[in-house]
Amino acid sequence: MSDAHHPTIGFIGAGNMAHCLINGLISDEYPATQIWASDPSIEQLDFLNHQFHIHTTKKNEDVVSHADILVLAVKPQVMKTVLTPLAPIIQKKQSLVISIAAGITEPALSQWLGNKTAIVRCMPNVAAFVGSAATGMYANKNVSTLQRDLAETILRSVGITLWVTDEKLIDTIAALSGSGPAYFFSIMESLENTAIKLGLNQEDAHLLTLQTALGAARLAMSTNETTQELRERVTSKGGITEKALAVLESHGTHNAFAKALEAAYDRSIEMSKQLT
C-alpha cells in the first residue's frame, strides 16, 4: 500500500538495470515494502528478494495493480507484447510510466498504453552500477510536476539526471552518454596497452590508466573551466603533452570522435524506427 511520501514503485523486468535502480533506491532509504518487481526468472526474483527484501512476483499484473510508478525494464524487442495486456490496468490506475528501454519512443508507448498516460522516457548508462550514471530524461505532456520529481528521485539514485524538452535529444544523449563509457574504455585500453609496450607491467599500467582517467574527470567536475581550457592548462609549450596531442590531431582524432557520435546518433534513430 502506498504512502504520501513513498509511492509504490514497480519494476517490470528485474535485470541488471532494474537491480541498479532498486539498489540505489534502497541505499537512499526508500522503503523496501514500497518496491515491487516482476520477471520470468525465479532465480532473478529470489536474488532481489534475498538482497533487498522487496516484493517479487512472476506476474506483471500483480506489479501493475500495486504500483503508482511503473519502471519498464524489459528488452525493447518485447516491450509491445509485454505492455499490451497491461494497458487497461495502467490506464485505470493512471500510473506514471518510466521507460528505460533504448529505442522505444514516447509516441509508441502512448500508442500502446493510451494517449493520456503519463510517460517519462530516459536513458541511464552502465555507470549506474557504481552510482555514477548520466541519465537523459524526457516527459510527455501528461506528466505532472510531482511525477517529474518522483521520476527524478528514482533515476538520481544512480547518478545525475538531465531533463530535455525535445525527445530527439534522447538520441543525442544515447550517443554521448549511453555509449560514452565504451569510448573511454577504448581510450583507456589503448593507453594501457601502449604503456605496457613501453615497459610498465600490466598491473601498474592498469592502475595508472584508471587513476589518470578518474583524476581528469574529477578535475573537470571541480572547476568552471571548459575542457578546452583544462587541456590548454596542462599542455606546456614544447613539452611532452603538446607533442602527444599534435600526433593525435595529425591522425584526425577529433574528427574521428565526431563521426563516431554521429554514427551512434543515426543508429539510435534507426533502431527507434525498427522497434516501433
The pTM (predicted TM-score) of the whole model is: 0.90
pLDDT of residue 3: 65
121 assigned to some structural domain: yes
Tell me the pLDDT of the chain averaged across its residues. Answer: 95
Instruction: Indicate whether 21 and 156 sit together in one domain.
Output: yes
Instruction: Read off the C-alpha cell for 66.
Output: 500495486
The residue out of 108, 141, 173 marking a domain boundary is 173
Average pLDDT score over residue span 210-227? 97
Instruction: Give 5's pLDDT tier (boundaries 50, 70, 90).
Output: confident
DSSP 171-229: HHHIIIIISHHHHHHHHHHHHHHHHHHTT--HHHHHHHHHHHHHHHHHHHHTSS--HHH
pLDDT of residue 102: 87
276 pLDDT above the threshold of 90: no
- Cell 600490466 found at: 202
Instruction: Indicate whether 140 and 38 sit together in one domain.
Output: yes
Average pLDDT score over residue span 194-211? 98
Q: Cα separation of 90 and 55, whole Å?
A: 19
Domain boundaries, position 96: 9-173
Q: How many structural domains are present in the chain?
A: 2
Q: Which of 81, 92, 98, 82 is nearest to 11 (CA)?
A: 98
Instruction: Indicate whether 158 and 235 sit together in one domain.
Output: no
pLDDT of residue 275: 83
Instruction: Give 67's pLDDT tier (boundaries 50, 70, 90).
Output: very high
